[in-house]
Structure 1
Amino acid sequence: MNNNNSAVETTMATSGMPSAIQRYHTHDIDQHARNMGGWQVRYDQMTPGRFEGELIEFRAGWMQLVRDRTNQSMLKSGSAWAGAITFSVPLSSQGPVFCAGHPIHEQSLLVAHGEHLPDLRIPEHLDLLAVTVEIQALEHVLERQASRFRITDLPRCYRLGTSSVQAELTLLFDELAAADQGQDNLLGHEAIRHGIRDAVMVQLLELVAPDQAPPLNPTARKRMVDRAREYALGHLDEPLSILDLCNHIGASRRKLQYCFQETLGINPVAYLRALRLNAVRRELRDSLYEQGVQEVAARWGFWHLSRFASDYRTLFGETPSQTLRRHQLC
């Protein structure tokens, strides 16, 4: 066993199938660089002491999420995989980052072409989330939403300021890691991977491509909500995400949320969740074959099972298991 990478061995050995999340822990800085799946990077340690690095990686189609924790200051250079755009979000740090020779003192999101990453000097004890997406997928989203964000204007830094993106992405990643520790690999379900990917993308777009269009009048707001609902109701056999709706009607999440709130008194995320909860209930009630609650919930994109059960009970006044049991007794 490689003692510099013992956590990898442990993760893979405890499951009959590869984990959706890969975990690496090492005391070798070069091994830490090699653990970046698909990347070609060089790390040079700049502060004294034993190196300690941890990587947690999750892939979902055209998106790769990597949480990168290191204890030493380093010089970083190299590239991500071909055809990628990288979004680097510091979750916590102790000091400035130097990007291509320029100090960045405020907490900022760095966006760059994966094949042309800027040279970085990072501080000690950095906890970083790297979100890497295929450029074609990002261009598709930007085009559908008529965004002014231009991929040609990279690399760029965006001040996080009072943005909730750090907190939201930290919570999401913590929940991902917790879900992957369960006996069943929920993160292997495509509906769940689709929802996680879209949730991350929505958070990033809020920061780099804010909606700058003027507010809509009541008639236009109603028209937008009607289009969104028509699309959602026409796809009741799919666990749609908020990004799906935004792409279909050509609007940002902020604009869609404003229109829903003003027109229906509910936000679109809650609306979609209600549709999916109803779909789960119908499947539990009407299914012609034996299946568990977890399997049905995962098929509809619910991977945080305790939250799903709470939302289900609140909406229907009974637990999913009670719905399933009543069907089985009929």
Structure 2
Amino acid sequence: MNNNNVLIPPASVAVRSALPIQRFLTSDIDEHARNLGGWQVRYDQLTPGRFEGELIEFRSDWMQLVRDRSNQAMTKSGMAWKGAITFSIPLSAHGSVYCSGHPIHELSLLVAHGENLPELRTPQQLDLLGVAIEEQALEHLLERQGSHFRITDLPKCYRLGNSSVPAELAALFDELSGCDQQRDALLGYDSIRRGIRDAVMLHLLELVAPDQAPPLNPTARKRMVDRAREYALGHLDEPLSILDLCNHIGASRRKLQYCFQETLGINPVAYLRALRLNAVRRELRKSTQSHGVQEVAARWGFWHLSRFSSDYRTMFGESPSQTLRRTQLC
């Protein structure tokens, strides 16, 4: 996909940016298919009426996220970019999806090789999240975590049931789609993009590769937590994510969370957030330059600034701007 500003047909309105997120609105179904960056797909409308489509695309290294909304039933066929493994998660759907002629009546996750996508017949008013991941990157993650999920077994369907993952991913994209100039600037930081990517990856692993290992005994739990903390404390100069810890110690997020909760009475997400909040405070306290709070917070992976400010005030009893102001007055 070309990120430069280009002339587009009147039927389509696109907001193009050099940053990792792009948003497209269109009333032309073929234009909607072409807006899917790097894919070669064909959409054929099946129900009567004016087509309305929205596509929000986010890229970060080896991952492409696409939220695809449409108001008409259609058939979808084609392929993703070479070397991609695709995850298709319906966030909402009014009716059944047909995959290669087989009806899927419950909301389900479909995983497939990007170069061999099954044909889909979608219902009207579909809100779909598509995730494309480089096969080598996915294999590396699965190997590091000792997962039993096998790429050779695709395509596969997983019933979502009462999983909270679709709602959490929808909330993430709601925040992304509300981008203003401030949010666009935040997405320019590698730490922010990596944090979003890693969060999505953990959600997907939870769906396709749930931890089925028996619980660890107290000694083994403490050993795992000690290894995770040692790694985190040895990398205080970078904003680590839970995925970083999971990959380092070879454990799923669920197992890591269980071990932290049983050993320290805190979950690993809160533990890493506390380390990063402390890192922000130290940087603000020793700052002799004109770095603002937003810039420092973004470097440490905080992209929801109001939530960051609230967490900071709760942790330290003052706002980050008050910390910075005291430093500059000294």
Which amino acid in structure 1 is aligned with residue 279 of structure 2? A
Equivalent-residue separation in structure 1 for 2:266 and 2:50 (angstroms): 52
Q: Deviations over 1:117-138 (max 9, x none)?
A: 0000000110001011111111
Equivalents in 2 of 1:28, 1:165: separation in Å? 31
TM-score by length of structure 2 reads 0.96
Check whether the contact 2:83–2:134 (CA below 8 A) recurs between aligned residues: yes
Q: Which residue is equivalent to 1:212?
A: 212
- Matched residues, percent identical? 78
Aligned counterparts of 2:100 and 2:64: Cα–Cα separation in 1:
24
Superposed displacement of residue 317, structure 1: 0.3
Deviation at 1:176, TM superposition (A): 1.7
Please tell me the residue identity of whatever aligns with 1:225: V
Query: Aligned-pair distance for 1:20?
Result: 3.2
Q: CA separation of 1:277/1:128 partners in 2, compared to 1, >3 Å: closer, same or farther?
A: same
Corresponding residue for 1:308? 308
Q: Residue 287 of structure 1: CA displacement? A: 1.9
SS in structure 2 opposite 1:221? helix
Of 5, 9, 12, 1:5 maps to: 12
**Residues 14-33 of structure 1: pairs in structure 2 closer than 5 A:** 18-33=18-33
Name the CA distance, whole Å, in 1 between partners of 2:223 and 2:183: 45
Equivalent residue, structure 1, for 2:231: 231
Question: Which piece of structure 1 moves more, 85-94 or 169-178?
Answer: 169-178
Q: Does the residue aligned with 1:291 lie in a helix, a strand or coil?
A: coil
Displacement of 1:19? 4.0
The two structures, once aligned, show a CA RMSD in angstroms of 1.1
Alignment of 1:1-330 (within 5 A): 2-6=9-13, 8=14, 11-12=15-16, 18-182=18-182, 185-330=185-330
User: Quick one: which amino acid aligns to residue 5 of structure 1?
Assistant: S
TM-score (norm 1): 0.96
**Distance of 2:182 and 2:173 partners within structure 1:** 15
Choose 177-186 or 77-86, whichever is displaced more. 177-186
Q: Secondary structure at the match of 1:185?
A: helix
Gaps of 5+ in 2: 1-6
Q: Give 5+ residue unaligned stretches, structure 1.
A: none
User: 259-268 or 279-288: which moved more?
Assistant: 279-288
- Structure 1 residues 96 and 183, CA gap change in structure 2 (3 angstroms): closer
Distance 1:63 1:180, change over 3 A: farther
Give the SS at the match of 1:182: helix
Whichever residue aligns with residue 255 of structure 1, its letter is K
Residue 182 of structure 1, CA deviation = 2.9
| Cα contact 1:72–1:124 (8 A) shared by 2 | yes
CA contact (8 A) 2:288 2:328 kept: no
Shift of 1:178: 2.4
Deviations 1:92-115 (A, max 9, x none): 111000001100000101111111
Conserved? CA contact 1:179–1:187, under 8 Å: no
Report if aligned partners of 1:88, 1:129 keep a CA contact under 8 Å in 2.
yes
Letter in 2 for 1:251: A
